[in-house]
Amino acid sequence: MTTFLVMGLGLQGTAAAHDLIVNGLGKRPDGRILLLDNDSSRLEVARERLVQLTGCTALETIVADAPVDPKDGATGPVREALGAADAAMNCLPYRFSEALTTMALDAGCHIADLGGNTAIVRRQLALAAEHWAGKDTAVLPDCGLMPGMGNLFVAHAVRTLGSCEEVRVRCGGLPVEPSGPLDYALLFNVYGLINEYFGRAQVLRGGALDEVETFTELEPVGIDFPGYGLPARECEAFITSGGLSTTPWTFAGEVGELDYKTVRYRGHFEKFKLLVELGLLGEEELGLLRGGAAVPRDVLATLLERVLAQDEVEDLAFLRCSARRGDQRLVLEMFDRRSAETGFTAMERTTAYSATACLLGVLEGRTEIGRGPIEVAVDTDWYLEELGKRGISVKVDRTG
């Protein structure tokens, strides 16, 4: 009997559990899924929704706190769940990823996550490298949309064309209708958003690893909105951090220019840039005039959640990877909308389904254990087919 574990039943976690039921248990009807979260109400809401959508009742809920430190004395329930599972999908914020990776390796349980912090991802891969000798356990960080799907689009382009002069990646999750003070809606964890907008981004320049500041290199971006059944919009893109994840290290010397920019509606950059320049993304605790102290990032996160969060958002997800080798060009473009059938948003679908496809690929022999990051480990032809099976359309255009 195959047992899957999903940790964190928020937006992406519930969608991940849904895909594991449809495409995981669908091939393993005697299997089961464990759902773990520290909020019993959230667990029950997720369970009821999954039963309603799929009719699957092979779902068990576990109320437990995930550890940031694997040596935490309260890790018992999480260790037991990992020990009982064959494959685990970690949909918790990235601060839990390193500890859960350590525990999964100890338990011999394959684990994938949504990542979002490249330094942590590289530590996870180093942990995995230490354990792979004599063990058959996969560790797959950064499997969501960006990073994740974007890594695999880059890998597919390089495998198709060979060494490339340039590879450009542009990605955005947006409300279908611009709204609010930033023409944006909060479509995933607020700290994940802030982490993208803060610090420095790793890129390739002249085939070598380089770093550039976030919120720089603004450019217009064209998306064929009418071609996707939406009114025309003007968009822009700018450098953000973490989206490329490990790909600059993986393709150094093989790709000349590699960068990633986040896509937003025109005007977002100028508005949010002010918040950056005011220091509101900072992590250093500041004293306040009325006593006490506060971290600017935490204050901003609270306000963003209050202003940008929407219960029912009609959204879209867009990802374009453009590669060039001489006169040969390859463009992969993904566009997705909220599902009328399941109610999952485009961001939930593209993030969660990408990750669960990578994880299920381990069990199906299409994701190689021990190879390293996903852009090395995952069969990209198979991956694109798997996205199609999930209703996520990818256009591939090759010229030259």
| Least confident segment among 21-30, 124-133, 369-378 | 124-133
Burial of 277 (0-12, 13-18, 19+ CB in 10 A): exposed
Q: Return the residue matching tokens 């490339």.
A: 164
The listed range with the strongest mean pLDDT (177-191, 196-210, 246-260) is 246-260
How far apart CA 123 and CA 133 sit, in angstroms, is 17
**6 vs 372 pLDDT, higher one:** 6
**What is the average pLDDT across 186-197?**
78
How far apart CA 70 and CA 105 sit, in angstroms, is 11
How far apart CA 361 and CA 359 sit, in angstroms, is 5
Q: Say if residues 293 and 287 touch (Cβ distance below 8 Å).
A: yes
Rounded to the nearest integer, the mean pLDDT of the chain is 92
| Model pTM score | 0.93
Q: Which helix (H) or strand (E) holds 139?
A: strand 139-140
Q: What is the per-residue pLDDT across 308-366, written as a single tens digit (0 to 9) for each? A: 777 677 899 999 999 999 999 999 999 999 999 999 999 999 999 999 999 999 999 99
Q: Which CATH number fits domain 149-350+383-399: 3.30.1600.10, 3.40.80.10, 3.30.360.10, 3.40.630.30?
A: 3.30.360.10
Q: What is the per-residue pLDDT across 75-113, written as a single tens digit (0 to 9) for each? A: 889 999 999 999 999 999 889 999 999 999 999 999 999
Quote the pLDDT of residue 288: 67
Four-CA torsion 204, 354, 172, 45, nearest 10 degrees? -140
End-to-end C-alpha distance for the chain, whole angstroms: 49
The listed range with the strongest mean pLDDT (27-31, 130-134, 378-382) is 378-382
Maximum pairwise Cα distance, the chain: 65
> Please, which pLDDT band fits residue 134 given cuts at 50, 70 and 90?
low
Quote the pLDDT of residue 86: 97
Quote the pLDDT of residue 287: 75
Q: Say if residues 255 and 167 touch (Cβ distance below 8 Å).
A: yes
> Please, which pLDDT band fits residue 132 given cuts at 50, 70 and 90?
low
**192 vs 199 pLDDT, higher one:** 199
Domain boundary assignment for the chain: 3-143, 149-350+383-399
How far apart CA 96 and CA 10 sit, in angstroms, is 15
How far apart CA 297 and CA 26 sit, in angstroms, is 42
Per DSSP, the residues of 215-248 read S-S-EEE---TGGGTS----EEEEE-SSSSTTHH
Q: Where are the strands (E) in 282-359, listed by range?
A: 286-287, 293-294, 315-325, 328-337
Quote the pLDDT of residue 102: 93
**352 vs 280 pLDDT, higher one:** 352
Quote the pLDDT of residue 135: 65
Quote the pLDDT of residue 340: 93
Of the candidates 254, 246, 263, the residue with the CA atom closest to the CA atom of residue 166: 254
**DSSP character at residue 292:** S
Quote the pLDDT of residue 187: 72
Four-CA torsion 23, 336, 323, 388, nearest 10 degrees? 30
| Least confident segment among 2-6, 190-194, 259-263, 378-382 | 190-194
- List residues bridging with 111 in a β-sheet: 88, 139
> Please, which pLDDT band fits residue 131 given cuts at 50, 70 and 90?
confident
Quote the pLDDT of residue 345: 94
Q: What is the per-residue pLDDT across 64-73, written as a single tens digit (0 to 9) for each? A: 999 888 877 7
Quote the pLDDT of residue 18: 98
How far apart CA 362 and CA 199 sit, in angstroms, is 33
Quote the pLDDT of residue 199: 85
3-state percent breakdown (helix, strand, coil) of the chain, nearest 5: 40, 25, 35
Two structure tokens written together for 51: 């039963």
Quote the pLDDT of residue 185: 82
Q: Say if residues 54 and 387 touch (Cβ distance below 8 Å).
A: no
Q: Does domain 3-143 have CATH number 3.40.50.720?
A: yes
Of the candidates 352, 339, 333, the residue with the CA atom closest to the CA atom of residue 391: 339
Residue 27 has pLDDT above 80, yes or no: yes
Residues in the chain: 400
Residue 291 has pLDDT above 90, yes or no: no
